[in-house]
Amino acid sequence: MSLARKHELLVKFFQENPFSFEGENNELLINASEEKLRSLLEESGNMDFDSTFAKTTKDETYRLADGNTLFDISIFDSKTRFSQTLKALEASKNYLIFDNQSKGFLSWIDSNTLKSENWSEDDFFYSNIFSFKSYIKKWTEIGKESNSSEDEYAFIDYYNSQKGTFLLTTFTQKIQLKSPYYFQNSDKDVSGMFELFDSCFSFDSKHQFPRFVKKNLIDFVSKSAIEERLAHSFLKFDRIYDKANLDFQVYLHDISIEKLRDEYEEFKRDSLMPFSEITSKLTVKILSIPIAFSAILFALNKISNSVLQIGVILSHLISSIYLNFSLKNHFSDLESIYRLFGKKVKKIKEHKFFLDNPREKNEIKEVIDYIQEKLTYAQRYIWSYFLISSILFLFVCTYYLWPLLKTINFSNQIDFDLISTEYWVIIILLVMFIVISIIQVFGFIKKSTKLKSIKENHSLGSF
């Protein structure tokens, strides 16, 4: 009969007949009549009753002759009791955890996890615990090798086989780790931690990478209790590995962390300052518009001489055109600064350290994202200033031409003889402004397109 079938028989039997553990030896006691136990044996293949069960002093209560194992399946009543037998557990054996209250089960049969429908969690319970067993076994192997090795470097400085303790030392630290009797499992899949740990001792990195693993492992578990350190290092070994790998890459590429940080701060400062200066200048210009506009309207309202009024509007036209053309210079500054920034980012992106450690680019990416945001704001400032100044000039011209506009009947043919020389001058200035503004708009669009091409050419959007 297959193990899977025997497992089904046990689950069905325990759903009707409860069991318990007693004494220091955790003897498994089954509460069932002899008739039911014999029937169970017959279904499994006629096993001998007397060699399988032993009568107790309690009525209809029997103990297993083989501890807690029946049909080559070790039986437990909880995950806690199972985990407390950590040292005796083996992945090659079969286990049944049966809850007498819920009648649910969580089993390890033929190296596969089986569980009842009412057992919703613990998909990785067995794979995690057996991976941890392999983890401890690897530590023991390394410890024994270290004790007999004459190499100058050892990952484990000393292994005490009687106490099950491992001594790890560096120039500045010394800690002990102890093989635990219990494993506090995780709901997450951590079964890959053993393979990750084992990979640290490959031939090509035997005398280098483990040094960095050792240092970071000590830092990581030093604050934990001695009995919890091994389990703690196992559950979080991916984080230990990542930090060790980063330190190892820095060592391989001969990079000074302090120098790298200084260069990063300089890069951030040099990249942000030009954009900040441009946005500050544009902000000042935008804030000055209401003051200039109010002054012009006040002058037009107070001056009665038409020649002087035209002079005010003409000066407004010249200053608006000049200031709008200066916006083009701001666009050119943005372009040159952005191009230089793109070259710096490309150089950083192609550095072997960042190619091997893409996670370390996160801080650089934050600067890039911030610069992109600054660039967007700067362009909006330029367009906002251009639109506001243009609209205000149109408003000033409309304000001056309003007396004329009120007399014109647009449904009939316009009598141009009614338009005075002063109005003609303003109309000509207005047409000039519109034409020049259209030319400026095309120039701004061209500059915006160049900024987009710089972003694409230097792959700033996918750093």
Give the model's pLDDT for residue 136.
Answer: 92
Q: How far apart are CA 339 and CA 326, in angstroms?
A: 20
Burial class (CB in 10 A: 0-12, 13-18, 19+), 95: buried
* pLDDT score at 240: 92
Q: What is the pLDDT of residue 460?
A: 65
Report the DSSP beta bridge partners of residue 168: 175
Residue 195 is predicted with a pLDDT of 92
In the chain, domain spans = 3-122, 129-252, 257-462
**How would you label 199-211 residue by residue, b for 16+ Cβ within 10 Å and e otherwise?**
ebeeeeeeeebbb
CA distances from 299 to 292, 304, 311, 326, 390 (A): 11, 9, 11, 25, 19
Residue 197, pLDDT score: 92
What is the C-alpha R_g of the chain?
41
pLDDT at res. 328: 75
Q: What is the rounded distance in angstroms from the CA atom of residue 273 to the CA atom of residue 281?
A: 12
pTM for the model: 0.58
Residue tagged 């990750």 (tokens): 196
At 354 the pLDDT is 64
Query: How far apart are alpha carbons 37 and 330 in whole angstroms?
Result: 92
455 alpha carbon, distance to own chain's centre: 24
| Cα–Cα distance measured from residue 178 to residue 430, given in angstroms and rounded to the nearest whole number | 88
Per-run averaged pLDDT (10 residues), the chain, 463 residues: 87 89 79 88 80 83 84 89 88 91 90 84 87 92 86 85 89 87 84 90 70 89 89 92 82 58 60 66 66 64 67 72 72 76 69 62 71 78 80 77 67 62 78 82 82 72 58
DSSP-assigned beta bridge partners for residue 167: 158, 176
Q: What pLDDT does residue 148 have?
A: 84
- Confidence at residue 193, expressed as pLDDT on a 0 to 100 scale: 92
Q: What is the pLDDT of residue 360?
A: 61
For residue 118, the model assigns a pLDDT of 77
Note the pLDDT tens digit of each residue in 310-328: 776 777 677 777 776 777 7
